[in-house]
Every structure is written in structure tokens, then in C-alpha cells.
Amino acid sequence: LSPPAERPDRRLEKLGILGGTFDPIHSGHIAMAQAARQAHGLDRVLLVPAARPPHKERELAPAADRLAMARLAAESAPGIEASDIEIRRGGTSYTAETLEELARERPDAELYFILGADSVPELKSWWRLPRIFELARLVVVNRPGCKGLFPPEQFQGIPGELLERAECDRVQMPPVPVSSTGVRKAVRRGEPLGAKVPPGVEEYIRRRGLYRGGRG
Ligand code: ATP
């Protein structure tokens, strides 16, 4: 018997990674994970709440709560799981490090990093962006109001063919006009969340008394 690595019928696991602050997770996150999963035939999508995102200044809900809500959301979403990889590592969460860790843990997996179109213009400031493009395919999902193109002059250091592939890997989904900011605002105003959040999340927010005060 040949070792697994040499078997021609061996199929790579296609693993999607959706990183975010998830403060809290909402239906747009789940919809984009599902759209990316379907479009690219991904076996699984990991929801990865950041311990501390590099670009967000405001105070966040505790990491344990953000992770618990991601877990609740995953319960009703087939093929979607929550991962504590960044929260376990602690400190500022850099996507390049997370992808390196996942690639080390699962050398057989093909990694797809999923992000919303509104995040594309921010990418140029991400730590070790060329490494991210090396380790994973970038899958951009549309978000209301965003074009999210990859103008090459803003992505110096990334080979043109990787930018082109990222363009081709784009996923369109019916727009979901929900944001974590909007959810936090609704909680503060005492409005019901309804379909803005996946099942179980609203109950969790109320039980833990999250997002009642503050401005963010
Ligand atoms: P906030 O309102 O606090 O800025 P957010 O709703 O943008 O939060 P994040 O956790 O920051 O949520 O987002 C994680 C990822 O999900 C990002 O890549 C973001 O672009 C994407 N995303 C979030 N909401 C949507 C949505 N409604 N449609 C498409 N992509 C989305």
C-alpha cells in the first residue's frame, strides 16, 4: 500500500476560514460562509473570532462570549464550525499567523480565506499580506455598497496571477444588509433582533447582558 500522500485518489480537504471580530456574529456572516462554501465546494468553513483585531480600537465583548456566540451560530449551519485558534493564541490576531498555524496542522488542506468586499481596501495594511496570498486563496463575498476590486497598484508585492485568481474566486450572494454595529445598536435600543442574528444568539446576548451600554 502506498502511503496516503502518494495515493492518486486522495482529495485535498477544502477548508474555508472566515475571520472576524464577530461582536456579535450575525446572519450576514453565516450567509457569506454558506455562499463561499457552496461556490467553491468547501468541505468546512471555520468561523474564527479574533482575540484582538489589529484594526479595531473600541472595546469588544469578552472573547469567550464572541466565541460562544459563533459556536451557537454554527450549530444551525451545516458545514460551518467555530474555531478558537486565535482566542487560544491570544494577543493581536494576525491572519497570516492563523493561516500558517492551520497549514501546519493540516498540511493536506487547501485553505480559502473568506472576506467581505468592504474589507478589501483595508487589506493593503494587513501584516504579511503576500504570505496570506501564498497560504490561501482569497474569496471575496459582496457586501451591500461595495465593489471590492483588487487594483494592482494597491497590492504591490502580490503576484498579478494571484490577484487575478482572487478576482475570479469572488462570490456573489443576495445582499444581507446586516452589520455587528447595527446589531449592537438594536440591542442598546431594546429592539428585537429577529433574523439579524442566527438562532440562539439573541437569547445569549440578553442572558449575558451584552451591548447594553457604551457607544460602539
Ligand atoms: P462591525 O459592524 O462591528 O464593523 P461587521 O459586521 O463588519 O462588524 P466583522 O466581524 O468585522 O463584522 O466582519 C467579519 C467579516 O465579515 C469581514 O470580512 C466583513 O467584511 C464580512 N461581513 C460582515 N458582514 C457582512 C455582510 N452583511 N455581507 C458580507 N460580508 C460581511
161-191 tens-digit pLDDT: 999 889 888 999 998 999 999 999 999 999 9
Q: Choose one of 45, 98, 118, 120 to mutate for the ligand 1 pocket test, by most ligand atoms within 8 angstroms of C-beta.
A: 118
Residue type, 143: R
Ligand 1 center from residue 180 Cα (angstroms)? 7
Ligand 1 center from residue 182 Cα (angstroms)? 11
Residues in contact with ligand 1 (CB, 6 Å cut-off) = 20-23, 28-29, 32, 115-116, 118-119, 141, 143, 176, 178-181
Whether the model clears a pTM of 0.75, i.e. scores above it, the answer is yes
Q: Choose one of 143, 170, 211 to mutate for the ligand 1 pocket test, by most ligand atoms within 8 angstroms of C-beta.
A: 143
* Residue whose C-alpha cell is 461595495: 146
Tens-digit pLDDT profile for the chain (216 aa)? Answer: 555 555 555 678 999 999 999 999 999 999 999 999 999 999 999 999 999 998 767 899 999 999 999 999 999 999 999 999 999 999 999 999 999 999 999 999 999 999 998 899 899 999 999 999 999 999 999 876 655 578 888 899 999 999 988 988 899 999 899 999 999 999 999 999 999 999 999 999 999 999 998 656
Q: Choose one of 26, 119, 176 to mutate for the ligand 1 pocket test, by most ligand atoms within 8 angstroms of C-beta.
A: 119
Helix (H) and strand (E) counts in the chain? 8, 5
Quote the DSSP letter at residue 189: T
Give the torsion sign (CA, 50, 56, 61, 66). negative
Ligand 1 center from residue 13 Cα (angstroms)? 26
Residue among 50, 55, 57, 54 nearest 23 (CA):
50
Residue 151: the pLDDT is: 85
pLDDT tens readout for residues 60-91? 999 999 999 999 999 999 999 999 999 999 99
Ligand 1 center from residue 4 Cα (angstroms)? 38
Ligand 1 center from residue 29 Cα (angstroms)? 7
Rounded Cα gap, residues 40 and 15, in angstroms: 10
| CA Rg value for the chain | 18
3-state secondary structure 124-150: HHCCCHHHHHHHEEEEEECCCCCCCCC
